Structure 1
Amino acid sequence: MSQLDTIYVLCGNKSKHKKWAKNWIKIKGVHTNIKEICEALQLAIKQRDQDTIAVSFLTVNEMTSTDNLNQLEPTFMYTQIFKEILLDMGHDNQAISDFITYSRRNNSGSSININRFEKEYHSQSAIRWYTLTPFIYCMLNDVLRSMEVNTIINMGFFIRDLHQQIQRLYQQQITKYHQKPFIVYRGQGLSKENFEKLQKSEGGLISFNNFLSTSTEKDISLVFARSASEKVDMVGIVFKMLIDPRIKSVPFAFITEVSSFDGEDEVLFSMHTVFRVGAIQQMDNNNQLYQVELKLTSDDDQQLRLLTDWIREEAAGITGWQRLGHLLLKIGQFNQAEELYNALLKQASDESEKALYYNQLGGVHFNQGNYEKAARYFEQGLEICQKALPSKHSHLATSCNNIGSVYKKMGEYSKALLFYEKDFEICQKTLPSDHPKLATSCNNIGSVYKKMGDYSKALLFYGKTLEICQKTLPPNHPHFAISCNNIGLVYDNMSEYSKALSYLERALNIWQRALPPTHPDIKSVKQIIMLRLLLLVCLAHLVVGRTITGNIVLKSNPGKTIVLPNGCQYIVQVVDASLADGKATELGTTQYTLVSSLPQSYTVTYVPSGLPMGSDSLQAQIKCPNGHMYINDHRISVPDKEGDNITIDIGVISHH
Structure 2
Amino acid sequence: MMNKALRVRNTEVMFLFRTVIRDIYEQLLAYQCQKRVTVYRGQVLSIVEYKKLEKSCGSIISLNSFLSTSLNRIIAEGFVQRNMHLCASGDYVAVIFEIEADPAVVCMKNDKTKKNRLPFAQIDELSYYGEGESEVLFMLGSIFRLNEIISHDQSSSSSSSSSLLLSADPTTSIIIRMTLCSDDDDNDLKQLYDHHLKNEYDRKETNLLSLGDVLRNMGKFDLAEKYYCRWLSELPSNDPSLGVLYQRLGMVANAKGEYNTSLEWYQKSLEITVKTRPSDYANIGITHNNIGNVHRNNNDRGRALESYNRAVSLFKQAHDESHPHLASFYNNIGTIYQKEKKYFEALEFYEKSLAIDNKHLPPDHPDLGTSYNNIGTVHRGLGHYDLALDHCNRSLKIRLKSLPAQHPSIAMTYENIGLVYEDKVELKQALTYMKKAQTIYEVALPFNHPYVVKIKNDVKRVEDKF
Secondary structure of 1:301's aligned partner? coil
Give the CA deviation at 1:423.
1.0
Distance 1:318 1:366, change over 3 A: farther
Match of 2:111 in 1: none
Q: Is the 8 A contact 2:99 2:178 kept in 1?
A: yes
The answer on 1:235 being equivalent to 2:90 is no
CA distance in 1 between counterparts of 2:430 and 2:64 reads: 43
Q: Is the 8 A contact 2:296 2:336 kept in 1?
A: yes
Distance 1:561 1:480, change over 3 A: closer
Distance 1:344 1:317, change over 3 A: farther
Secondary structure of 1:390's aligned partner? coil
Q: Is the 8 A contact 2:281 2:315 kept in 1?
A: no
CA distance in 1 between counterparts of 2:458 and 2:189 reads: 39
Q: Is the 8 A contact 1:228 1:234 kept in 2?
A: no
Give the aligned length.
Answer: 407
The answer on 1:203 being equivalent to 2:203 is no
Which residue identity does 2:22 align to in structure 1? R
CA distance in 1 between counterparts of 2:296 and 2:140 reads: 42
CA distance in 2 between counterparts of 1:210 and 1:188 reads: 15
Match of 1:305 in 2: 190
Matches within 5 A, 1:123-522: 139-170=1-32, 174=34, 177=35, 181-231=36-86, 232=89, 233-248=91-106, 250-262=118-130, 263-283=132-152, 286-287=169-170, 288-299=172-183, 300-301=185-186, 303-312=188-197, 313-315=199-201, 317=203, 319-321=205-207, 322-349=209-236, 350-522=238-410
Secondary structure of 1:352's aligned partner? coil
CA distance in 2 between counterparts of 1:159 and 1:487 reads: 43
CA distance in 2 between counterparts of 1:598 and 1:449 reads: 23
Distance 1:197 1:229, change over 3 A: farther
CA distance in 2 between counterparts of 1:454 and 1:278 reads: 52
Secondary structure of 2:39's aligned partner? strand
CA distance in 1 between counterparts of 2:19 and 2:304 reads: 43
CA distance in 2 between counterparts of 1:373 and 1:188 reads: 49
Distance 1:278 1:310, change over 3 A: closer
CA distance in 2 between counterparts of 1:448 and 1:317 reads: 34
Q: Is the 8 A contact 1:163 1:270 kept in 2?
A: yes
Give the CA deviation at 1:340.
0.7
Cα deviation digits, residues 512-571 of structure 1 (max 9, x gap): 111111111111211221221232245xxxxxxxxxxxxx9xxxxxxx8999xxxxxxxx
Which residue identity does 1:297 align to in structure 2? C
Match of 2:453 in 1: none
Give the CA deviation at 1:145.
0.7
Give the CA deviation at 1:234.
1.6
Secondary structure of 1:431's aligned partner? coil
Secondary structure of 1:430's aligned partner? coil
CA distance in 2 between counterparts of 1:424 and 1:200 reads: 45
Q: Is the 8 A contact 1:420 1:444 kept in 2?
A: yes
Q: Is the 8 A contact 1:208 1:273 kept in 2?
A: yes
Give the CA deviation at 1:334.
0.8
CA distance in 2 between counterparts of 1:163 and 1:210 reads: 12
Match of 2:447 in 1: none
CA distance in 1 between counterparts of 2:393 and 2:53 reads: 28
Q: Is the 8 A contact 1:435 1:468 kept in 2?
A: yes
Q: Is the 8 A contact 2:421 2:430 kept in 1?
A: no
CA distance in 1 between counterparts of 2:387 and 2:380 reads: 8
Q: Is the 8 A contact 2:266 2:287 kept in 1?
A: yes
Match of 1:615 in 2: none
CA distance in 2 between counterparts of 1:331 and 1:487 reads: 23
Give the CA deviation at 1:418.
1.5
Match of 2:440 in 1: none
CA distance in 1 between counterparts of 2:191 and 2:429 reads: 46
Distance 1:391 1:416, change over 3 A: farther
- Where structure 1 has 5 or more consecutive residues not aligned to the other structure, the ranges are 1-138, 539-551, 553-559, 564-596, 604-637, 640-656
Give the CA deviation at 1:462.
1.1
Which residue identity does 2:200 align to in structure 1? E
CA distance in 2 between counterparts of 1:315 and 1:333 reads: 17
CA distance in 1 between counterparts of 2:51 and 2:187 reads: 27
Give the CA deviation at 1:273.
2.1
Structure with bigger gyration radius: 1
Q: Is the 8 A contact 1:338 1:361 kept in 2?
A: yes
Which residue identity does 1:422 align to in structure 2? R
- Where structure 2 has 5 or more consecutive residues not aligned to the other structure, the ranges are 107-115, 154-166, 432-456
Identity of aligned residues (%): 33
CA distance in 2 between counterparts of 1:201 and 1:496 reads: 35
What RMSD over aligned residues (CA atoms) do the two structures have, in Å?
A: 2.6
Which residue identity does 1:319 align to in structure 2? E
Matches within 5 A, 1:574-653: 599=459
Q: Is the 8 A contact 1:314 1:327 kept in 2?
A: no
CA distance in 2 between counterparts of 1:199 and 1:303 reads: 18
Give TM-score, length-normalised by structure 1. 0.58
Give the CA deviation at 1:161.
1.2
CA distance in 2 between counterparts of 1:319 and 1:373 reads: 29
Give the CA deviation at 1:309.
2.2
Q: Is the 8 A contact 1:351 1:388 kept in 2?
A: no
